[in-house]
Structure 1
Amino acid sequence: MSQDSPEGQHVRLIGGRYRLSDLLGSGAMGTVWAGYDEVLQRRVAVKELKVPPGVPEQEAAEARERIMREARALGGLSHPNIITVFDVVDVDGAPVVVLELVPSRNLATMIGEQGTLTLQQSAVVGFATAGGLRAAHRSGITHRDVKPGNVLVADDGRVKLTDFGIARNIADAPMTSVGLVLGSPAYIAPEVAAGQPVTPAADLWGLGATLFAALEGRPPYDVHGDPVSTITEVVDGEVPRPRTSSAVADVIMALMVKDPDARMPLDEVRHRLRPLIDDPDDPLYPGSPDAPTIGAGLPVPTAAERAEFSAGRPAPLPPAPTGARHLVEPAPLATSPGPLPPARTRQPAPVRPVAATASRRHSAAAPPVTGMAAVGLVVAGAAVVVAGAIGGWTATRLLAGQSPFTTATVSSADTAP
């Protein structure tokens, strides 16, 4: 459905909660919009399937299945270097995927603007992308189209892998089309270009080719812009090498190996690139230090803000509500948390004499004596002493055959001589 926004801009509302506004990007079979989730009050990206007129129904069905595969692939992944899927909405029988919106540029745009990346920037891209791919592979998902256009560099420096549109889970049935090569010719793995099955090793080649472009400012293969000639060169030609030697170049050469089984594993890629990064959590892409992360309770974005997104610029954070409390910076974590505390085991109780045990229990159970309680104890003790004396005297009289209540006087005159 459609409605007019308060600013007079014509927008669409889908799923009863997602308001679409600005166009972020468009391809042959899909369109990405900037949107706003009116329930959680946050910005989102909305990927909508677009089937051109005249496309056969079989191809349209494959396109719908492909966008659902992306949703399922991303929906099962949770990693800081992978775009997050929030929701899937059915709109007129076609799936619409609601994604995390990251104000960013893709790596291809960055290369086009600045030519090449520094060694440290390339290391950041490689380290982060390898982390995202490792998470995908552990979940049984192969991306199948790793290239600079699918690596996002956010305005706050985060690096995220996106566009799993042709990703495949090992549990999915294969999708094949006659004469169709899935992937980008300049970055496709040689075995995939030759028609062999796609494996996670194809993503390793794509990562190496992506880093090659970042370091050299150009794709590793491009024969006059002709896709067929480029694919032929990928399969039969020599593997290009970076012009300068560096740790990043060594990783590239270890990834761009035609034998899939001989390519460097992702763990080793991260191990090699880690020393080039001062802090993996503080990448070297300057941007807005307070890049927008819109939370609940903040105003709905204005038309001007949406226009900035459509132009590729991040919208500023809205002002904090009056009276809002400033967040307190958490204390920094220690460099090392130290050893874990020893496990508590049940120890046998030591054997003590019975008397000592009883005395210990009595002393442990006795409450402290203070005030009037002390006076009461003294009186009670005196009464016990007096009662004991009287009892002893009475018992002695009875044993002597005398009444305890009479007194007899014995003198020497009453005794025999």
Structure 2
Amino acid sequence: MTSGSDTRVVAGRYQIQRQLGRGGMGVVWQAWDPELEREVAIKEVLLPEELTPDERREMHFRTRREARSAAKLSHPSIITIHDVLDFEDHPWIVMELVDGKPLDKMLKESGPLPPERVATIAKALLDSLLLAHSKGVIHRDIKPGNVMLTDNERVILTDFGIATIDGETTITRTGALIGSPEYMAPERLQQESSDAPSDIWSLGVTLFAATEGQSPFKRETVTASISAVLSAPIPPPQRAGPLTPLLMGMLDRDPARRLAAPQAAQLLTASMPTQAMGPPSGTNPSLAPTAGMPPPTQYPPGHQPPPQQYPPGQQPPPQQYPPHAGQPGPNGPVDPNGPPSGSAAAGGNNKRKVYMVAGAIAAALVLGVASAAWAATRPETSEYQLYGSGDYSFEYPVDWDVSEDDDGRATASHPDSREEISFVVDSYEPERTNPRTEIEEKSEGEWETTDWDGYEMEDLQRTQQDYLPDRWKAATWVFRYTNDDRDHPNRYSVRHQVHVESDWDDTAVWLRWDLPEGQETEYQDVIEHVNRSLRP
């Protein structure tokens, strides 16, 4: 379809301006969206001509499903997806237009990057993978060409075009290898699996290329590159400095021994001065090296440094093992005198993986989840960890307990049960696209909240959503009530609700705080941080 000026218009809306790039799975265009008056990037996914009509319909369905899943990944270091559609027998994915330069082009123009700069990139990408993997999304094509660096030092992982969700079969060309072999994990080349560890391998190769200038498996032919990934000795990096053990731990050919994202994040923090890694992605960090010597090099379990990476006569420092991260936090029983029915979760054990970012890691990584404005106001002494389920994710204080019942509802509780402070998280399909309207109607209807003893609404308003993607809406409801079964009967409650509008179905996730009246001021910063971290 074209306009009068012969400009190609996609789906009657997006006006194609110029081609930005072309790859094995499609073409990326710069386009203008007149409805929202903004420039966007739009990817035309090219399907193999040899597909049957049924296979083509299946590929269209998978493209839309995968784009939908990636669209739920709201993070400063993950490309934002605005829309997905079918046009001219091709799937199209509409994304934010990033004003930056791909890492591969930067390496080609300027050569290898210093370890301090690579540490900043690693921190942002590991943080984004923690979120993606907690949602069951595996990228499958991490490489320098899919890492964008902006002028304000934002690091962005792009192109989820061949991603998988929860291990499902991905979009592939019949009989062809999809991905970049020199950055693909051995298990992928052997068609064994495409799970989270394969993303860690690809990220390790990408970071290796950033410090050394090219992939350690780059060869003249695709066949030679595949052979190198599968069996060639992995050369130790020469310029990575304190990042060497991190890279070698990510490049273990055994997925079971390979560093997981939380372990890699912890080792990164231990290996580099915090100042050298700079503030979270999305801000404007100073990348100047920190004065003084870096901390002693630490090595992940089972990974010894290659002897040749040390000058003659110099011995490697003693091996230190980072504690495991990514394990569920301690679970305490749910207070039987919890919030009233309809707001409290029953007891239960954690059944889903909890991604923990504690201690020093929280200070370095957790800020990247929120917007730059929120990061600037976050309490410096706060420490949070990320909880991810199949339907939602949120951050909570590191010393709190989290449990999840059989229905998937999570409860986070203050470590001292006498405080009677907790919040509950769950999801459902809303009846209204506007969360404020939804809360207003249901509080007077099926929730029967207005019938609670001593109920008094203090506030109900749409939340400022500069930190949320388009088509996401949030509202916050504050009220007071009385529960005589509690030691502190006068209660203060905050319900924060986020609605995600899509072409398929709408999703709502909600988080409800319950604490004694009078404690709201002391916990205001914690409440605001946790509320802003809530994601479907």
TM bucket (normalised to shorter chain) is: 0.5 to 0.7
How far is 1:210 from its partner?
A: 0.4
Which of the residues 70, 74, 91 maps onto 1:74?
Answer: 70
Mapped contact 1:69–1:165 kept (Cα < 8 A): no
CA distance in 2, matches of 1:331, 1:237: 46
How far is 1:270 from its partner?
A: 2.2
- Say whether 1:118 aligns with 2:163: no
**1:106–1:60 distance in 2 versus 1, CA, 3 Å:** farther
Partner of 1:102: 98
CA distance in 1, matches of 2:173, 2:278: 46
- Say whether 1:211 aligns with 2:211: no
Partner of 2:256: 261
Q: Which amino acid in the other structure matches residue 40 of structure 2?
A: V
How far is 1:51 from its partner?
A: 5.2
- Say whether 1:186 aligns with 2:231: no
- Say whether 1:271 aligns with 2:258: no
Mapped contact 2:211–2:239 kept (Cα < 8 A): no
**1:26–1:63 distance in 2 versus 1, CA, 3 Å:** farther
SS of 2:181's equivalent in the other structure is: coil
CA distance in 1, matches of 2:379, 2:87: 50
Gap runs ≥5 in structure 2: 289-372, 384-396, 398-413, 422-485, 490-536
Mapped contact 2:420–2:488 kept (Cα < 8 A): no
Partner of 2:311: none
Partner of 1:90: 86
Q: Which amino acid in the other structure matches residue 50 of structure 2?
A: P
**1:4–1:269 distance in 2 versus 1, CA, 3 Å:** farther
SS of 1:33's equivalent in the other structure is: strand
Q: Which amino acid in the other structure matches residue 219 of structure 2?
A: V
Partner of 1:33: 29
**Deviations, residues 310-334 of structure 1 (Å, cap 9, x unaligned):** xxxxxxxxxxxxxxxxxx9x99665
**Greater fraction of residues in strand:** 2
How far is 1:176 from its partner?
A: 6.7
Mapped contact 1:69–1:167 kept (Cα < 8 A): no
Partner of 2:350: none
- Say whether 1:231 aligns with 2:226: yes
Q: Which amino acid in the other structure matches residue 380 of structure 2?
A: T
SS of 1:20's equivalent in the other structure is: strand
Report 1:165-184 matches (<5 A): 165-170=161-166, 172-173=168-169, 179-184=175-180
CA distance in 2, matches of 1:347, 1:152: 51
Mapped contact 2:15–2:32 kept (Cα < 8 A): yes
Which of the residues 189, 195, 202 maps onto 2:191?
Answer: 195
Mapped contact 2:80–2:96 kept (Cα < 8 A): yes
Q: Max radius of gyration: which structure?
A: 1
Partner of 1:323: none
CA distance in 2, matches of 1:228, 1:38: 46
How far is 1:60 from its partner?
A: 5.6
CA distance in 1, matches of 2:240, 2:90: 49
How far is 1:195 from its partner?
A: 2.6
How far is 1:215 from its partner?
A: 0.1
* Identical amino acids, percent of aligned pairs: 36
**Deviations, residues 61-87 of structure 1 (Å, cap 9, x unaligned):** 676456435413312321111111111
SS of 1:121's equivalent in the other structure is: helix
CA distance in 1, matches of 2:10, 2:287: 35
Partner of 1:243: 238
**Deviations, residues 86-118 of structure 1 (Å, cap 9, x unaligned):** 111221332211111111111111110111111
Q: Which amino acid in the other structure matches residue 153 of structure 2?
A: G
SS of 2:73's equivalent in the other structure is: coil
SS of 1:198's equivalent in the other structure is: coil
CA distance in 1, matches of 2:195, 2:32: 37
**Deviations, residues 379-404 of structure 1 (Å, cap 9, x unaligned):** xxxxxxxxxxxxxxxxxxxxxxxxxx
TM-score (norm 1): 0.64
SS of 1:260's equivalent in the other structure is: coil
How far is 1:282 from its partner?
A: 2.8
How far is 1:335 from its partner?
A: 3.4
How far is 1:285 from its partner?
A: 7.7
Mapped contact 1:155–1:285 kept (Cα < 8 A): no
How far is 1:50 from its partner?
A: 3.6
- Say whether 1:57 aligns with 2:51: yes
CA distance in 1, matches of 2:214, 2:115: 15
Which of the residues 365, 380, 386 maps onto 1:335?
Answer: 380
**Deviations, residues 346-381 of structure 1 (Å, cap 9, x unaligned):** 579xxxxxxxxxxxxxxxxxxxxxxxxxxxxxxxxx
CA distance in 1, matches of 2:420, 2:153: 42
CA distance in 2, matches of 1:245, 1:22: 38
Runs of 4+ off more than 6 Å: 337-340, 342-345
SS of 1:98's equivalent in the other structure is: strand
**Deviations, residues 279-305 of structure 1 (Å, cap 9, x unaligned):** 22334589xxxxxxxxxxxxxxxxxxx
Mapped contact 2:14–2:34 kept (Cα < 8 A): yes
Which of the residues 132, 146, 152 maps onto 2:142?
Answer: 146
How far is 1:128 from its partner?
A: 0.8
Mapped contact 1:152–1:160 kept (Cα < 8 A): yes
TM-score (norm 2): 0.51
CA distance in 2, matches of 1:191, 1:334: 42
CA distance in 1, matches of 2:170, 2:382: 47
Q: Number of paired residues?
A: 300
CA distance in 2, matches of 1:101, 1:37: 11
Which is worse superposed, 124-133 or 172-181?
172-181
Q: Which amino acid in the other structure matches residue 72 of structure 1?
A: R
CA distance in 2, matches of 1:333, 1:49: 40
**1:4–1:161 distance in 2 versus 1, CA, 3 Å:** same
Partner of 1:162: 158
CA distance in 1, matches of 2:174, 2:488: 72
CA distance in 1, matches of 2:28, 2:173: 25
Report 1:317-396 matches (<5 A): 335-336=380-381
Report 1:39-50 matches (<5 A): 39-50=35-46
RMSD of aligned residue pairs (Cα, Å): 3.2
**Deviations, residues 115-158 of structure 1 (Å, cap 9, x unaligned):** 11111110111111111111111111111111111111123221
Mapped contact 1:158–1:283 kept (Cα < 8 A): no
